[in-house]
Amino acid sequence: MRIGFLFPGQGAQTVGMGKDLYEKYDEVKEIYKKASEILGVDVAKLTFESSEEELSQTKNTQISILIMSLGILEVLKKNGIKAEMSAGLSLGEYSALMYAEAINFEDGIKIVKKRGELMQECTPNGNWSMAAILGLEDKKVEEICDSVKSGFVVPANYNCPGQIAISGDVEGVKEAIEKAKETGAKKAVELKTSGPFHTEKLEEASKRLFEELKKINIDFPKIDVVKNIDGMAYKNSDNIKEILAKHVINPVRFAKSAEYMIECGIDIFVEIGPRKNFNRICKKN
The closest of 234, 200, 203 to 220, measured between CA atoms, is 234
Choice among 69, 167, 194, 198 that is catalytic: 198
Task: Please pick, among 56, 64, 86, 90, the residue that the annotation labels catalytic.
Answer: 90
Active site residue 198: yes
* Residues acting as catalytic residues: 90, 198
